[in-house]
Amino acid sequence: MISGPITNVLLGAAIKCVPLLISTIAAFFSRNQELVANQDTSRVEASIENQKDQAGDAFVKLTRRILFLYVALTYCYLQFYYAFNPHIQYDVLIPKNSGWGLIGMFTGKSDYEVVTLTGGLLLMAFNDLMYVVTGFFAVPSSRR
């Protein structure tokens, strides 16, 4: 006779406590993500301030220009060198069959074949990389 009301009270209390517990856990994780986001934002802002400070530094500008000239002139020299010496060849190892896609990238290949490339063909493989590197050193970083 008394167990019915006691059970109802306990059930009602449990029904009220479960959502409170769930909302407390959700608030904890939300606050944790908010703190991490604020920390990342402050890191990005500090990095931007550092880049702005370094962009105006004369030594940084000079070293960027020197590196740009070094990379660009080396690439130009290699282009002329391979143009005047077309007989230079390199042997490159490549996997025999690449039919596994991404899985093959992680499992690796056991059999390779040797491909012979001229210097000009090998240099052409680095064209896109050269555009990126020279663009990185040649474009000023003062605009944010």
Q: Residues 48, 73: one domain?
A: no
Domain that holds residue 46: 1-55
Contact 122, 30 (CB under 8 A): no
What is the Cα–Cα distance from 69 to 78, expressed in whole angstroms? 14
Structure confidence at residue 39 (pLDDT): 75
Q: Residues 45, 7: one domain?
A: yes
Q: Residues 44, 97: one domain?
A: no
| Terminal CA-CA length for the chain | 76
For the chain, what is the domain count? 2
Would you tell me how many other CB atoms lie within 10 Å of the CB of residue 28?
10
> Where do the H-state alpha helices sit in the chain?
3-55, 58-84, 102-107, 119-124, 127-138
Is residue 143 in a domain?
no
What is the Cα–Cα distance from 109 to 30, expressed in whole angstroms? 45
Joined tokens for residue 74: 């080396």
Q: Residues 33, 88: one domain?
A: no
Is residue 16 in a domain?
yes
- One digit per residue, the tens of pLDDT, for the chain of length 144 reads 566 777 777 777 778 788 878 888 888 888 878 877 777 777 778 888 877 777 677 787 788 888 888 888 888 898 899 889 989 898 988 777 666 666 666 666 667 788 898 888 888 888 888 888 888 877 766 554
Structure confidence at residue 110 (pLDDT): 67
Q: Residues 111, 85: one domain?
A: yes
Q: Residues 80, 128: one domain?
A: yes
Structure confidence at residue 84 (pLDDT): 92
Q: Residues 46, 92: one domain?
A: no
Joined tokens for residue 83: 């143009």
Q: Residues 72, 131: one domain?
A: yes
